[in-house]
Amino acid sequence: MLFSLAPMEGITGHAFRQVHAACFGALDRYYTPFLTPPQVGSAFGGRARKELDPAANRGLDVVPQLLTNDADRFVWAARLLADMGYAEVNLNLGCPSGTVVAKGRGSGFLRDPDALEAFLQDVCARSPLPVSVKTRIGIADDAEYGRILGIYCRLPLKELIVHPRVQKDRYQGKPRWEAYGETLARAPFPVAYNGDICCRADLDALCAAYPQTRHVMLGRGILTNPALARELRGGGALAASELARFHDELYGAYKAEIGGNAVFRMKEWWSYAKFAFADSTAVHRAVRKARTTAEYEAAAARVLSAQPLASSPRFEG
């Protein structure tokens, strides 16, 4: 079984990926949070340039993800990525955010299947890198997926990663596994599953229903339990000392990158990591109150030394 880290904007950037790999061993693959391709003729700038810097991704199998509905910009960005040494480019057809959807990007692109097919035929023909897609199954209704999957099946995709929710689900409700099963049955290319795999029982249930499962992308489950992939492979449970080390290294990496703003990044991580503890409410209160760097460091140290871990740490959405 192949395990990869889901792209999560604002969280699973290069610092998170490197610290996670150093503390828990590298996953089989990592996807960057979505990046906007530059204008044709321009280089990646700002955050994207840092995110893609080969030195920041050394030793890891990283697949850059693009968010766009502009074929020329996608192909141009794929050329830049090929020159940097990347071997695959991923298209985001899942982002449910209102502003992204309104511009016909992310899951918003699924609203116009004809335009989506023209875009994908064009970029698959012109991209210098193999193209994979991470998709939701529609906007409002799973009945939309048959037509969308039909489009994918006519394309030479490197892989299709299915997060079987519709845009209107956001991150709520049970993933619609039947759509994943339909993908496995029809797709002529490799398929990956993503959504709510947060413990061994979740993976066992998925594999019992769909034994052909070969690649599972892990997201919020790893934010709560950074040892999740090890546990899914039959290894040991998360230890408090491991979580403390992971926290300290992640905070250190963020401080080196963005100084005092590291506290805001860490609070975002804590909104998932708190579920690793037996009393997630107490952890939430302790960390949320911290305003200054010194307050944050004292609160985090108190939580990590005094709050016991849950018996089976699991993200609770």
Ligand X SMILES: Cc1cc2nc3c(=O)[nH]c(=O)nc-3n(C[C@H](O)[C@H](O)[C@H](O)COP(=O)(O)O)c2cc1C
Among 196, 206, 228, 276, binds ligand X (CB under 6 A): 196
Question: Residue 20, interface with ligand X (CB under 6 A)?
Answer: no
Q: Tell me if residue 95 is catalytic.
A: yes
Pick the closer one to ligand X by CB: 95 or 287: 95
Answer yes or no: are the C-beta atoms of 180 and 193 closer than 8 Å: yes
Beta strands 62-63 and 65-66, pairing class: unpaired
Pairing state between β 160-162 and 131-135? parallel
Q: Are 197 and 206 in contact (CB under 8 A)?
A: yes
The verdict on whether residue 220 carries a ligand-binding annotation is yes
List of long-range contacts for 289-296, beta carbons under 8 Å, 24+ apart: 290/263, 292/263, 293/260, 293/262, 293/263, 296/263, 296/266
Query: Nearest Cα to 197, choosing from 166, 227, 218, 172?
Result: 218
Please identify, using beta-carbon distances, which residue of 295 and 316 lies nearer to ligand X.
Answer: 316
Q: How far is the CB of 193 from ligand X (least distance, A)?
A: 9
220 binds ligand X (CB under 6 A): yes
d(CA 271, CA 150): 38
DSSP structural state of residue 36: P
Residues 37-76 that bind ligand X (CB under 6 A): 65
Q: What is the Cα–Cα distance from 122 to 151, expressed in whole angstroms? A: 13
Residue placing its CB nearer to ligand X in the complex, 134 or 247: 134
The CA-CA-CA angle for residues 54, 60, 63, to 5°, reads 75
Residue 94 binds to ligand X (criterion: CB under 6 A): yes
Number of residues in contact with ligand X under rule CB under 6 A: 23
Which bin fits 135, alpha (ψ -120 to 50), beta or left (φ > 0)?
Answer: beta
**β-bridge partners, 5:** 30, 218
222 vs 307 by CB, closer to ligand X: 222
CB of 195 to ligand X, least distance (A): 5
- Residue 247 marked ligand-binding: no
Does residue 92 belong to the site contacting ligand X (CB under 6 A)? yes
Here's the x/- map for ligand X, 108-147, by CB under 6 A: it reads as --------------------------x-------------
Report if residue 164 touches ligand X, rule: CB under 6 A. no
Q: What six digits make up the tokens of 124? A: 């698959």
* CB closest to ligand X, residue no: 219
Q: How far apart are CA 13 and CA 26, in angstroms?
A: 14
Q: Residue 163 CB, nearest distance to ligand X (Å)?
A: 4
Residue 284 is assigned to a ligand binding site = no
Binding positions for ligand X, 264-303, rule CB under 6 A: none
CB 7 within 8 A of CB 63: no
Q: Specify the stretch interacting with ligand X by CB under 6 A; choose among 7-15, 46-54, 229-237, 244-252.
A: 7-15
Output 16 or 246, the one with its CB closest to ligand X.
16
| Chain residues in the site for ligand X (CB under 6 A) | 6-11, 33-34, 65, 92, 94-95, 134, 163, 171, 194-197, 218-221
Active site residues: 95
Annotated binding site for FMN: 65, 134, 163, 219-220
The binding site consists of 65, 134, 163, 219-220
